[in-house]
Every structure is written in C-alpha cells, then in structure tokens.
C-alpha cells in the first residue's frame, strides 16, 4: 500500500531513540499517523515541527497497519511563528483542535482552511478570524455545524445578530433582543460581512468554544486545549492596549 | 532464545540493553568487555554505580542532579547569583556547562508545555522558578529552551509570568550554526538569522 499527498504536521512524539511517530493532516487522506524513521535526527527535527507543510509518502504492507512516512519539506512555517506569542498560541490551538478530527477520514475543506490559516499567520489582522472560521468548519465536518443561514424564530435571512446556545441556530435582532442575555452574539464576520475587530474575534471564539466543549470535548471527557485560553487572553490584552 | 550465559550475566545484559544508545547486541559486547576486565572495569564500575545510587539526588534549588544538595553549581560562590538560565532538561544544563558559556545560575524545568501532549504548567517546575525569582536577587532570566514549537511556547509562558515581577527576560539567538550551509537551512532559521543580523 502506498500513497503520496500534501499535509501539515500537527503532532510528533518520539519513538525509540531515533524514530518518531508523526501525526499529519493530509489533503486527501485526512488525519494520519505514521512512523518516521530517523525522525529525531538533526536533519528531520526542523521538518517535524507542528505547522510545517510537507509532502508525505505513506507506505505499509496492509491498509490497517500504521505504516511509515517519508517526508519532504514544502514550507517550514513553524520557524516564522516561534518568536510571536500570539501566533504560537494560534498555531497550538489549530494543531490541538485538528487532533479532534477522526483518523483516516478525508476532510479536504478543513485541510484547505487550515492551509489558509497557516499561510496568513504573518498577518495578525487576518488569521484570528480565519481560525474562528476554521473552528466553525471543524464543528460542521464533525456533524455539529451551526445553522447561521436564517433566523430560528422568524425564518428571515437578514439582520441576524445572535446564536441560540440550545439549537445552534441564528436568531434575528428583533426576535432575540428580549432574550439577548441568554444568547451568543453573532459576530458580523461570521455572517458574511467584511471587516472585524478583536472583540468580534473573541465573540467568535466564545461561540465556537461553547459548541466545541458541548459536542467534541465534553463527551470525550477531555479539556479544551490550554493554548486556546492563552490565545483568548492574549487577544483580550491586545484589545485592552 | 537459547541462553548463552548464566543468569547473572544475562541479567546484566538485559539491564544494560535498556540504556539509551545500547541495544541487546551492544549490551552483550559491553558485558563481555566488562567481564574480561573484571578488576580494572567491572569492580570500579559496580562501586561507582552503587555510590551514584546512594548519593545522587535532585538539587532542591535548581533541579540539577548531583551528589550535593544544593548542587555544585548552586553552591559555587564564583557564579553570578543575579542571572538565571532556564533550561528544559538536565542534559541542556550539561551542554551549556560543557561549552563554559554561562557563568550564572540555572533552573531546570523538567520538560516543556505541550498542548498536544497534555503537559500543563503545573507539571513543570515553573512555580518554583517564579518563587525563586520573587525572592528579589535575580535581575535577568535567560530562556534557553529549545527552538521548537513546544520550547518557545514554554518560553513565552514564563515571560508572561515573570513580567508581573518586573524581571528582564531574554532568549537565545536563532541563526546559522557553526559549519551550517545556507542551502540546507530551513526558511524559518534563515529568516530569523536575517532579522537578527548584526554589524560586522
């Protein structure tokens, strides 16, 4: 068995003294684990950093085997991100969230979205909102997508301002105003409008965080990644400054 | 597998084969060498191992391993007590000592924060580091964590914690290693090296 695909390194753990088990989010094969022989060598360590884009060749005798990876660096993003605490928190969040995806199930839309987030990481005015959108996409691909197309109460498709925590559906401003304390604010950038401020991004993270906790992390009894909390704290500090 | 020697020798081979860098074959060769040099090597090695087992402990101040507590580095009066170098593991401390690159104190964290591996701040010696810095005599902390995503995440977290104490922090430079060829360096390292260029 053999295939070749493009992917993003999302995790690495040592295996023995010289090898590593790499976790890679690939474009057409989904989240895959494989052994990288010599993965702990000086040559391979810079390549096996989370966030790096690689060309992967997977080989195994049988489909159900874990198999081995042969990796070739395409774009080493991690190096650019290391010096920036906010970007590093964003990268850690993205990588930890990607680990929630089912193994060996292709999700090309989510892969492409992750690729876009990583490629925009040098622009702090853009990537946080893209990361919120990516989390929305993750919920969607896992089968818990939010319906933000029309109001759950009136059916109208415009003037949407809130999201119901019960149904995960959008609520219009008029219908939601009397209950606004119990509803999530719907950031305009999630509703197709252009432009956003940090406060919108934080509202977006609050919204996705609630549903990720309810549908993804809670049932598995695992905690949300701490990097996500650091990211939100950093964004709040940025907003205060 | 068929036994080739008595249980004492087999046990020695088994134990040695668990040491990093040694496999069953190399452990067998090492044991054979030890047995052949029984008086010159095996006896002294056995007593050195017994001494190390009895006396080695973790330094209560910095986390280094030594036969003294506080360790040799912490109790050295010639070292600058106002500057502190934070490293991930004892091996990193030894590497800096080998290079004679640092004349201050150390603090060993015992690992790095890892969102993916589930390592949280309370799993590392970060609280001890903060309380050590809060005592007042530390002026600068050098973060010598590895240039990996996890190492730098840890460095940023510590910087955040120390900011509240008003202590200056710095980190190791990233760039072209001695003997390194630009053609073989990753883009990240090259970018960091260009950004951190110095007058020549």
Please report, in tens digits, the pLDDT of each residue of chain B (200 residues total).
566 778 889 999 999 999 988 888 999 999 999 999 999 999 999 999 999 999 999 999 999 999 999 999 999 999 999 999 999 999 999 999 999 989 999 999 999 998 777 788 899 999 999 999 999 889 999 999 999 999 999 999 999 999 888 899 999 988 888 888 888 787 778 888 888 888 88
Q: Which range of residues forms the domain containing residue A19?
A: 2-76
Question: Is A79 in Cβ contact with B186 (below 8 Å)?
Answer: yes
Is the same domain home to A133 and A225? yes
| Domain at B65-171, CATH class | alpha beta
CB proximity list for A239: less than 8 A, separation 6 or greater = A198, A199, A202
Contact criterion met (CB < 8 Å) for B189 and A79: yes
Residue A123 confidence (pLDDT) above 70: yes
Q: What is the pLDDT of residues A58-113, one digit of tens each?
A: 999 999 999 999 999 998 888 778 888 999 999 999 999 999 999 999 999 999 99
In this prediction, what percent of chain A has a pLDDT beyond 70?
A: 100
Asked if A74 and A53 touch (Cβ cutoff 8 Å), the reply is yes
| Integer CA distances (angstroms), B189 to A76, A78, B10, B91, B174, in order | 9, 10, 47, 23, 7
Q: Which of A76, A97, A125 is the last residue of a domain?
A: A76
Q: Is some CB atom of chain A closer than 8 A to the CB atom of B43?
A: no
Say if A221 falls within a structural domain. Answer: yes
Which of the following CATH numbers is that of domain B7-55: 3.20.20.450, 1.10.8.420, 3.40.50.2000, 3.40.190.10? 1.10.8.420
User: Do residues A109 and A65 share a domain?
Assistant: no
* C-alpha to C-alpha distance for B34 and B12, rounded to whole angstroms: 10
Same domain, residue pair A130 and A12: no
Please judge whether A227 and B153 are an interchain contact, meaning their C-beta atoms are less than 8 angstroms apart.
yes
Candidate from B156, B157, B192 with C-beta closest to A79: B192
Determine the angle formed by the axes of helices A85-98 and B149-163, rounding to 10 degrees: 130
Q: Measuring CA to CA, which residue among B112, B97, B111, B107 is closest to residue B70?
A: B107
Q: Give the tokens for residue B130.
A: 């903060």
- Tell if the CB–CB gap between B153 and A11 is shorter than 8 Å: no
Contact residues on chain B for A95, CB-CB shorter than 8 A: 115-116
User: Do residues A218 and A230 share a domain?
Assistant: yes
Q: What value does the CA radius of gyration of chain A take, rounded to a whole number of Å?
A: 19
pLDDT digits (tens, 9 = 90+) for B99-147: 998 999 999 999 999 877 778 889 999 999 999 999 988 999 999 999 9
C-beta of residue A162 within 8 angstroms of C-beta of residue A171: yes
| Distance separating alpha carbons of residues A107 and A143, to the nearest angstrom | 12
Tell me the whole-structure pTM to 2 decimals.
0.86
- Cβ within 8 Å, pair B148-A96: no
User: A172-221, pLDDT tens digit by residue?
Assistant: 999 999 999 999 999 988 987 777 889 999 999 999 999 999 999 999 99
Alpha-carbon torsion angle B145, B149, B154, B158, nearest 10: 90
Please state the rounded mean pLDDT for residues A120-125.
Answer: 90
Answer yes or no: is A207 within a domain. Answer: yes
Neighbours of B110 (CB within 10 A): 16
Q: Which residue has the higher pLDDT, B115 or A136?
A: A136
Contact A49 B21 (CB under 8 A): no
Which residues, in sequence order, are bridge partners of residue A33? A23
| Shared-domain flag, residues A126 and A197 | yes
ipTM over 0.85: no
Q: Same domain, yes or no, for A122 and A193?
A: yes
- Amino acid B90: pLDDT: 96
Residue A133 within any structural domain of the chain? yes
Same domain, A102 and A71: no
Q: Which residues of A touch B (CB under 8 A)?
A: 10-11, 13, 17, 23, 45-47, 49-51, 73, 75-83, 85, 88-89, 91-93, 95-96, 99, 225-227, 230
């Amino acid at each position: 068995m053999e295939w070749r695909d493009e992917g993003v390194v999302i995790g690495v753990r040592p295996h023995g003294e010289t090898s590593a088990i790499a976790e890679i989010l690939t474009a057409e094969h989904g989240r895959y684990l494989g052994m990288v022989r010599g993965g702990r060598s000086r040559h391979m360590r810079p390549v096996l950093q989370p966030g790096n884009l690689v060309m992967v060749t997977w080989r195994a005798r049988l489909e159900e085997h874990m198999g081995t990876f042969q990796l070739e660096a395409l774009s080493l993003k991690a190096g650019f991100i290391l010096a920036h605490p906010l970007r590093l928190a964003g990268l850690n969040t993205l990588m930890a969230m990607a680990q929630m995806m089912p193994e060996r199930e292709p999700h090309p839309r989510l892969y492409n979205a992750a690729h876009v987030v990583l490629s925009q990481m040098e622009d702090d005015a853009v990537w946080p909102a893209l990361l919120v959108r990516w989390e929305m996409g993750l919920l969607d691909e896992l089968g818990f997508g939010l319906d933000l197309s029309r109001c759950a109460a009136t059916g109208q498709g415009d003037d949407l301002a809130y999201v119901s925590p019960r149904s995960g559906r959008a609520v219009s401003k008029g219908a939601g105003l009397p209950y606004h304390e119990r509803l999530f604010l719907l950031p305009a950038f999630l509703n197709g409008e252009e432009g956003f401020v940090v406060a919108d991004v934080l509202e977006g993270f609050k919204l996705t965080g609630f549903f990720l906790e309810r549908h993804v992390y809670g049932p598995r009894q695992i905690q949300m990644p701490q990097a996500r909390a650091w990211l939100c704290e950093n964004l709040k500090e940025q907003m205060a400054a | 597998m068929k036994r080739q020697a008595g249980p004492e020798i087999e046990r020695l081979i088994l134990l040695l084969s668990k040491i990093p860098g040694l496999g069953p074959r190399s452990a067998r060769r090492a044991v054979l060498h030890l047995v052949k040099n029984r008086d010159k090597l095996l006896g002294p090695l056995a007593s050195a191992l017994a001494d190390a087992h009895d006396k080695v402990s973790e330094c209560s101040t910095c986390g280094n391993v030594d036969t003294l507590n506080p360790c040799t580095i912490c109790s050295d009066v010639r070292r600058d007590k106002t500057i502190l170098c934070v490293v991930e593991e004892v091996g990193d401390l030894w590497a800096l000592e080998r290079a004679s690159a640092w004349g201050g104190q150390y603090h060993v964290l015992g690992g790095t924060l890892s969102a993916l591996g589930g390592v949280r701040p309370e799993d590392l010696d970060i609280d001890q580091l903060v309380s050590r810095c809060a005592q007042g005599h530390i002026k600068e902390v050098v973060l010598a964590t590895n240039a990996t995503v996890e190492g730098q995440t840890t460095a940023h977290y510590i910087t955040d914690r120390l900011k509240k104490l008003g202590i200056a922090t710095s980190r190791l430079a990233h760039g072209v290693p001695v003997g390194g060829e630009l053609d073989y360096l990753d883009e990240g390292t090259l970018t960091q090296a260009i950004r951190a260029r110095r007058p020549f």
